[in-house]
Amino acid sequence: VAPPPPDPSRPWSGLVTFEDVVVKFSKEEWELLDLSHRSLYWEVMLANHNTVSSLRKNRFDCKFRGEDGERA
């Protein structure tokens, strides 16, 4: 799924966040995954987090947004 186009009313619009690349499962969906799929999920999410974090080191603003949607 492609991300939505930048929203000029949001000052951080167009910046990469972990929220942009995270895949979320409901509790019910998570329980349907077997151990190998859960492990793969964590491996991919860790790789995504590391990639997004590395962008910050390269002077791009990259922020994690918590469950409440606030930037951390």
8 found inside a domain:
no
Q: Which domain holds residue 43?
A: 18-57
Look at 5-9, 20-24, 25-29, 30-34 and tell me which has the smallest mean pLDDT. 5-9
Task: For Cα atoms 12, 17, 20, give the angle at the middle one, nearest 5 degrees.
Answer: 110
12 found inside a domain:
no
6 found inside a domain:
no
Q: How far is the CA of 39 from the CAs of 42, 44, 64, in angstroms?
A: 5, 9, 22
Question: pLDDT class for 60, splitting at 50, 70, 90?
Answer: very low
pLDDT exceeds cutoff 60 at 63: no
Dist. CA 15–CA 71, nearest whole Å: 12
pTM: 0.53
Question: pLDDT class for 48, splitting at 50, 70, 90?
Answer: confident
- What total number of domains does the chain contain? 1
